Structure 1
């Protein structure tokens, strides 16, 4: 069901890029309420949240032809989050209000899914960049759950070679995942 919704959202976004107002209204109806709830949870002010969400939608419509988006739903949620955080940062809040605002850490399901998809893609890219034999051994071990001895017998190589190939693949994955962790820590 989630895949269908994502496809529907992306199809609507494509139509919006071509100035289809009906598609815009459909997407707006689909995402308005959840975005408003998200903004309200950040701002603790329903009226201000409505204004922020409306600003995001107006900006989305005005820039529809120039923005390049991979995941429209994630883009809209990030836009509302940044707009709310910027408002909180710029408003005259007392120290306690600022501490409360900084402690709010609500990650939308969309952002989490987006991060998981990005990580999954990154892992698959690392595996695809491995030498062919290393890929084969790694997939047999980690995806098909075949033990090292069986892999060695199946491929007619030593068990030590299997272990070395798996170690090589894991080192490469760890290195790349560590890079991703560093990048995510800045957001």
Structure 2
């Protein structure tokens, strides 16, 4: 299996199999992701043995709690775990000046995390919008996605401007409610 060309859907399928206690799927994930995780930990800690220990602990924890997680983006989850464990180690132990400088230079939110979060949020918003009544969806998309003003929308759809405003309010209320609920469940 070519490690560089593994996409999120393949990893997602392996995660599902791991939840079912499939040891081969776990070994495949481990083989694909261990090296990049180890390199990332080394770049923060600058201690190969400690980096190995932290990455091993993360994999052990992942296996032991495999049924308790609903992980959509495993790479993002594991790299966050590496970062937090490394930072916690640096915080709890004495470290040298170079390690301190590296810790400050490492970005808090990696590009992979931000990209996956943006994709997930966009998908959630599209799902919420698709559950709105058809007329509400059309008006909301014209207003918020196509940036058309309310008066123009009213003229195009041959309805009152007040109706446009009401439909946008309904859509925004629904989005706020659903996204607040998702945020509460997530955090």
Give the TM-score of the pair, scaled to structure 2: 0.70
Distance verdict in 2 for CA 1:144–1:109, change over 3 Å: same
Distance verdict in 2 for CA 1:167–1:19, change over 3 Å: closer
Pairs aligned (count): 184
CA deviation profile, 1:72-118 (whole Å, cap 9, x unmatched): 22221222111111111111125775465244325333311232134
State the distance in 2 between where 1:177 and 1:83 align.
29
1:114 aligns with 2:116: yes
Distance verdict in 2 for CA 1:117–1:168, change over 3 Å: same
State the distance in 2 between where 1:82 and 1:96 align.
18
Alignment of 1:52-71 (within 5 A): 52-71=54-73
Q: In the alignment, which residue of structure 2 is the partner of 1:83?
A: 85
Distance verdict in 2 for CA 1:144–1:37, change over 3 Å: same
Q: In the alignment, which residue of structure 2 is the partner of 1:137?
A: 139
RMSD between superposed Cα atoms in Å: 4.1
Range moving further from structure 2, 164-173 or 100-109: 164-173
Q: In the alignment, which residue of structure 1 is the partner of 2:52?
A: 50
Give the TM-score of the pair, scaled to structure 1: 0.70
Q: In the alignment, which residue of structure 1 is the partner of 2:36?
A: 34
Distance verdict in 2 for CA 1:149–1:10, change over 3 Å: same
Q: In the alignment, which residue of structure 2 is the partner of 1:17?
A: 19
State the distance in 1 between where 2:9 and 2:89 align.
32
Q: In the alignment, which residue of structure 1 is the partner of 2:74?
A: 72
